[in-house]
Amino acid sequence: MKQKALLSLAFYLNVFILFSLSGYKIYLALSAPDLTARHTWQIEQIETTTRDREMVRIAVIGEANNSIGVFERQIVEMLNSSNIDFVVSAGNAVSNGGEASYRSLLGSLSRLEKPFLLTPGNHEVSDFGSNRFYQRFGPYFYSLSVGKTTLVFLDGTGRSSATWQERWLADLLNSKSDRQIIVFVGQPLLQPLAEPLFKPDEGIWSAPEDQARLLALFRLLGVDVVISAGASVFSDQIHDGIRFITTGGGGGLILNNETSFYHFLELKVDGKGIAVDVVKIDTAPSLPLRWLESLWAFVYSLFYVHFLNFLLIFSVFAITGIYLFNVLFAEQDYYPAYNAPPLSHLGRPLRVVMMTNNYLPFIGGVPISVERLKRGLEAHGHSVLLVCPSYGMDTPDSTILRVPVLFSTRGWIRIANPFLTQTRRKVEAFDPDIIHVHHPFWLGTLGRIMARRLNIPVIYTYHTRLEHYAHQIPLLSALFRNFIAHWLVRRFSNRCDAVIVPTPVARDYMRLIGVVRPVHVQPTGIDLEAFEVPEGARLGKLRRELNPDGRLVFVTVSRLSPEKNVGFIIAAMARMKGLSPVPFRLLILGDGDERPRLVAATRAAGLEDTVCFLGNVKETLISEYLALCDIFVFASRSETQGMVVLEAMAAGLPVIAVDSSGVDAFVENDVTGYRTQEDIIQWTNSLAKLSLDRMLRKKFGANAKFAARKHSTSEFSTAVANLYEGLIMSRLHSGEPTLDLPVNSPAVLKGNAEVEFSRQDD
């Protein structure tokens, strides 16, 4: 328990750190101070230190790419110990234009004891980096004079107009024909002599016509040398009397051969000429080491100069580690007791609050199950308060609390308002012993919160395979089907005291998705008396109306919605037309949004005389319709129990169904019917076999009726009440609430209905 508490504390601490850091980052973004362009005072320092100097030494680096091992630890150290006057980046000093990369570069430059100027390359402006470059360093194109040499920095990234730069360049250099001119541009203007590892960077002068225009201007203005980055090679060539150098060995990924190697350039300018020396870096790391350095550079950029980002990532990993530790090493009980605890006999009727997101008059499996449980509990003397949405035409009932709705969705679905104070007050005033929720969200969540507030148990019945309703969620349907639906059920179930499922397969599903709470298998009961053969005159009248020509009658009872798969049955009827010589008719009891599409499919298959849509039928009349039928057909795969299947069996009908968790506990192959895969050939072959063999139908029907007798409403409600009592007594024995009478009091054990319990807070 202590370990769980520490893990919870660590989790919430990490969440607090994440929110705090996120808030701080937003604050920094909104309150970031204006930054002074560094090139301004760098240029002033360069001009001051080189004034009246005959010889000026310049180091030029291309493709530094935030390198730690090569640029910061080797080149910077070499420059600090040399007699270089200042340093120029020919482009791509950063690996990208992100905030962390710029801060990492500034960290590396803080180790450099020489002035530093940058040429904007493609990396500098990527990831919205152009604004960061402008804030930290200054304009994208600029110039300065050192001795009798003019250095010109052009912007080839496209952030500045090519025409405007060319005009500025002409105005700048027309009166300086006696000076040496070195131009820096971040993209190669000529294709490097050696084939680079990657395609060279392209810019606004990469197109042939733009390149020709700029080169012509260079010749006219007397440019001596053009130095570029943008490719991980060294290339030195002369074109039309101008020297073009590509330098790309400052720290990026290189091939480590004669043309692609780590290096920087040392320029010596003295007014008489420009000497260029290539300074090689004595390092040749293997490819894995270079990838490792890139990873280290990323971590370094976060940790060394941008530690808040590092802490954010660290916190995410910490939360993940805590979660994995809890999953892998926390003690788990993989063999929990599936059965209810021993009967405790509280000695008085129970007070039960049941909360459901849908109820009558909405017709569906959940409302019917809830209604039967409610009636069964009340028949045994227990008090039930049912909390459900209002449908606007509700019959007043003191045992039902109708909650006003926020809005309505398609069909009968109502989204009840879970925030009403009066709902909570009425639940509290009812003074329940236990809360039973029937959905893992909305009113179900409210029920779980109320149970915690009242310090009483909460039990959840898993009615619905949520993943089969993913089609109702646009855009996120795949994510909901494969992850969210199962996560929602697991998370909610583990926050309840126990879970009820209708079949063993559903219990296994709970275990597979990670539910660790007690799971009890308890199918919803049915009113067996309601499915006895109705009075002959009424049955005869109904038969004359629906089957006047005496055909074999198939029947299905289902809401007409995609997850119920009624379209499969209609398609199967079309195949049955050519498969079975026995004339037949299909009755469809139920309604829904899919009805127009299904009716159209029936017409398209020429089955108007075979398939009858009867709409919603009162629950009390369903047994009469089943009594005139011969075979019950079912194709839904979204059921957790499939109560209509059990009702059909109680009426003595054999069943043909698609195999799913909702029917496998009741339909036994070659005993009560057939279950097949969702394969129209297998399904219709089984139906045809049963259609042609009257004795087999009679045998399966008798077996089905016998099997259904085990699932009466009375036994169902009694079993659930026993679960309630076990949970209540477990809560009492745990020491949370206390009793006015000892647990083994004779008054309690004798079942004295007047004994009352009082709950006291610790």
Residue 755 has pLDDT above 50, yes or no: no
Residue 91 has pLDDT above 70, yes or no: yes
Residue 233 has pLDDT above 90, yes or no: yes
Residue 312 region, left (φ>0) first, then alpha (ψ -120 to 50), else beta?
alpha
Query: Which has more pLDDT, 291 or 664?
Result: 664
Q: Model confidence over 435-457: pLDDT tens digits?
A: 999 999 999 999 999 999 999 99
Task: Determine which of 214-218, 488-492, 634-638, 733-737 has the lowest per-residue pLDDT on average.
Answer: 733-737
Look-up: residue for tokens 């009469």?
Answer: 624
Identify the top-confidence range among 149-158, 513-522, 527-536.
149-158
Predicted local distance difference test score (pLDDT) of residue 490: 93
Would you place residue 33 in the very low, low, confident or very high pLDDT band (cuts 50, 70, 90)?
A: very low
Would you place residue 290 in the very low, low, confident or very high pLDDT band (cuts 50, 70, 90)?
A: low
Contact 513, 327 (CB under 8 A): no
Share of the chain above pLDDT 90, in %: 52
Query: Which has more pLDDT, 330 or 10?
Result: 10
State the Cα–Cα distance between residues 108 and 221, nearest whole angstrom.
36
State the Cα–Cα distance between residues 30 and 18, nearest whole angstrom.
18
3-class secondary-structure state, position 384: strand
Contact 153, 91 (CB under 8 A): no
Q: How far is CA 269 from CA 76, 140, 176, 266, 395, in A?
A: 21, 24, 16, 10, 99
For the segment 605-611, the average pLDDT, to the nearest whole number, is 93
Share of the chain above pLDDT 70, in %: 83
Residue 507 amino acid letter: R
Contact 129, 91 (CB under 8 A): no
Contact 646, 666 (CB under 8 A): yes
Residue 742 has pLDDT above 50, yes or no: no
Query: Which has more pLDDT, 472 or 241?
Result: 241
Predicted local distance difference test score (pLDDT) of residue 165: 96
DSSP code per residue over 333-351: -SS---SPPPP---SS--E
- CB atoms < 10 A from the CB of 519, how many? 22
Predicted local distance difference test score (pLDDT) of residue 747: 33
Name the DSSP class of 525. Answer: P
Chain-centre distance of CA 271, in angstroms? 65
State the Cα–Cα distance between residues 622 and 152, nearest whole angstrom.
91
The whole-chain average pLDDT of the chain stands at 84
Give 734-738 contacts, CB < 8 A, sequence gap 24+: 735/762, 736/455, 736/762, 737/455
For residue 589, which of 619, 553, 540, 556 has the smallest C-alpha distance?
556
Predicted local distance difference test score (pLDDT) of residue 345: 59
Q: How far is CA 299 from CA 29, 294, 307, 494, 626, in A?
A: 22, 9, 10, 38, 70
Contact 239, 52 (CB under 8 A): no
Q: Model confidence over 372-427: pLDDT tens digits?
A: 999 999 999 999 999 999 988 778 899 999 999 887 765 557 889 888 999 999 99
Q: Taken in order 553, 554, 558, 560, is the CA torsion positive or negative?
A: negative
If residue 590 lies in a helix (H) or strand (E), which one and from where to where?
none
For the segment 461-486, the average pLDDT, to the nearest whole number, is 75
Query: Which has more pLDDT, 606 or 362?
Result: 606
pTM over cut 0.85: no
Predicted local distance difference test score (pLDDT) of residue 749: 33
Sketch out the chain's domains with CATH numbers: 38-284 (3.60.21.10), 351-521 (3.40.50.2000), 528-711 (3.40.50.2000)
Would you place residue 564 in the very low, low, confident or very high pLDDT band (cuts 50, 70, 90)?
A: confident
If residue 521 lies in a helix (H) or strand (E), which one and from where to where?
strand 519-521
Predicted local distance difference test score (pLDDT) of residue 711: 84
Residue 60 has pLDDT above 90, yes or no: yes
Name the DSSP class of 193. Answer: S
CB-count exposure of residue 756 (10 Å: 0-12, 13-18, 19+): exposed
Predicted local distance difference test score (pLDDT) of residue 291: 63
Contact residues for 206 (Cβ-Cβ < 8 A; gap 6+): 156, 187
Contact 423, 403 (CB under 8 A): yes
Would you place residue 18 in the very low, low, confident or very high pLDDT band (cuts 50, 70, 90)?
A: low
Residue 191 has pLDDT above 80, yes or no: yes
Task: Determine which of 138-142, 342-346, 660-664, 716-720 has the lowest per-residue pLDDT on average.
Answer: 342-346
Predicted local distance difference test score (pLDDT) of residue 502: 86
Predicted local distance difference test score (pLDDT) of residue 391: 87
CB-count exposure of residue 277 (10 Å: 0-12, 13-18, 19+): exposed
Residue 293 has pLDDT above 70, yes or no: no
3-class secondary-structure state, position 451: helix
Examine residue 361 and say whether the peptide bond preceding it is cis (omega within 30 degrees of 0). yes
Look-up: residue for tokens 């459901």?
Answer: 356
Predicted local distance difference test score (pLDDT) of residue 756: 35
Rg for the chain (alpha carbons), in Å?
40
For the segment 642-669, the average pLDDT, to the nearest whole number, is 87
